[in-house]
């Protein structure tokens, strides 16, 4: 029986961006919305977890996954998928602290195989857990996780919705600013168990609305497009915005952004303003509390990633 699910791909140069037609983006958004027929895993702390798990356990694991994702230079999409995989498992099976740590680690492992050109290796997994879990136990958990997931490895995440919606922003500097601020908000939401009650489309639209309201002093035309054209749940959207406003501390707007007029667009303008999107999600950093920087291959970084350290000692 085949147990090694590792992904082998050759790295090659790709164009930094690709043009997507507005109709193609709309079709992809509707495909993501169709995946939301199955709600996000929520409520499992009260209904499934019987071994003492509380929200703080999940919070610590989600924070660890975000930190590990940055250390391994994984995309925000990969980490969000990994957190989703963990939640699906927790909505199906009760765990203690030891099993929870293994589940979260294996979720990162599986997500990297699906969404990264260079996934986490088994050797890196063993180093990551400091050999506390034998390889056989990691493989067994991987099989169990895939069974629970029913091999649904490409969920509709808030990050996926956000990327598609941002392709309709016509001003590059605003697009970049919206992405960085909204991605930071989505990180906070991924950590907080309470946001599991909201569909991914709602979380993405709400993040755009909160950023626009706090940084530009207006409603988000992209969020309006999601509500009016895509049919995102308006009531859930209002509740999610209200909750996000309690945790969001707006950063100072850069002078050049403050001078830009951010006017609401009607649907016809949104349809024609599709901007280039990244050819690969891994080319976009996930803004967070740490200093943001682009992926690079030079070895003169202040602190080498675990992979660079491993190569250096090889």
Tell me the three-class secondary structure of the chain, residue by residue: CCCCCCCCCCCCCCCCEECCCHHHHHHHHHHHHHHCCCCCCCCHHHHCCCCCCCHHHHHHHHHHHHHHHHHCCCCHHHHHHHHHHHHHHHCCCCCCHHHHHHHHHHHHHHHHHHHCCCCCCHHHHHHHCCCCCCHHHHHHHHHHHHHHHCCCCCCCCHHHHHHHHHCCCCCHHHHHHHHHHHHHHHHHHHHCHHHHHCCHHHHHHHHHHHHHHHHCCCCCHHHHHHHHCCCCCHHHHHHHHHHHHCCCCCCCCCHHHHCCCCCCCCHHHHHHCCCCEECCHHHCCCCCCCCCCCCCCCCCCCCCCHHHHHHHHC
Q: Mark residue 231 as left, alpha or beta (left: phi above 0; alpha: psi -120 to 50; beta: remaining).
A: left
d(CA 186, CA 195): 10
57 by Cβ neighbours in 10 Å (0-12 / 13-18 / 19+) ranks as buried
Strand pairing class (17-18; 277-278): antiparallel
The segments of the chain whose pLDDT lies below 70 read 1-20, 248-314
Q: Which residues pair with 212 in a beta bridge?
A: none
Q: How many CA atoms lie within 13 A of 276 on its CB side?
A: 9
Contact present, 287 and 249 (Cβ < 8 Å)? no
d(CA 296, CA 127): 23
CA-closest candidate to residue 158, choices 210, 221, 106 = 210
pLDDT value of position 176? 93
pLDDT value of position 208? 96
- Cβ-based neighbour number of residue 225 at 10 Å: 24
pLDDT value of position 34? 87
pLDDT value of position 298? 40
pTM summary value? 0.75
pLDDT value of position 201? 96
d(CA 189, CA 183): 10
Q: Any idea where the domains of the chain sit in the sequence?
A: 38-149, 158-279
| The domain over range 38-149 is classified in CATH as 1.10.10.10 | no
């Amino acid at each position: 029986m085949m147990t090694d699910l590792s992904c082998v791909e050759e790295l090659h140069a790709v164009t930094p961006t690709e043009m997507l037609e507005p109709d193609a983006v709309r079709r992809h958004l509707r495909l993501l919305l169709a995946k939301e027929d199955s709600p996000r895993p929520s409520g499992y702390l009260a209904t499934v977890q019987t071994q003492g798990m509380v929200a703080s356990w999940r919070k610590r694991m989600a924070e660890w996954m975000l930190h590990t994702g940055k250390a391994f230079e994984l995309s925000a999409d990969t980490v969000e998928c990994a957190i989703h995989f963990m939640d699906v498992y927790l909505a199906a099976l009760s765990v203690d602290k030891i099993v929870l740590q293994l589940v979260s680690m294996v979720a990162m492992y599986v997500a990297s195989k699906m969404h990264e050109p260079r996934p986490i290796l088994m050797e890196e997994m063993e180093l990551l857990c400091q050999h506390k879990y034998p390889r056989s136990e990691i493989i067994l958990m991987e099989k169990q996780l895939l069974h629970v997931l029913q091999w649904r490895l490409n969920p509709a995440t808030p990050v996926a919705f956000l990327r598609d919606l941002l392709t309709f922003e016509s001003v590059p500097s605003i697009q970049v600013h919206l992405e960085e601020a909204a991605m930071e908000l989505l990180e906070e939401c991924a950590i907080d168990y309470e946001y599991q009650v909201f569909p991914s489309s709602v979380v993405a639209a709400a993040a755009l609305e909160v950023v626009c309201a706090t940084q530009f002093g207006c409603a988000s035309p992209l969020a309006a497009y999601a509500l009016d054209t895509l049919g995102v749940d308006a009531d859930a959207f209002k509740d999610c915005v209200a909750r996000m406003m309690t945790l969001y501390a707006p950063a100072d707007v850069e002078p050049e952004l403050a001078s830009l007029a951010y006017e609401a667009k009607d649907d016809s303008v949104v349809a024609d303003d599709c901007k280039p999107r990244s050819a690969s999600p891994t080319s976009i950093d996930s803004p967070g509390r740490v200093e943001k920087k682009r992926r690079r291959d030079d070895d003169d970084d202040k602190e080498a990633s675990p992979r660079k350290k491993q190569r250096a000692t090889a």
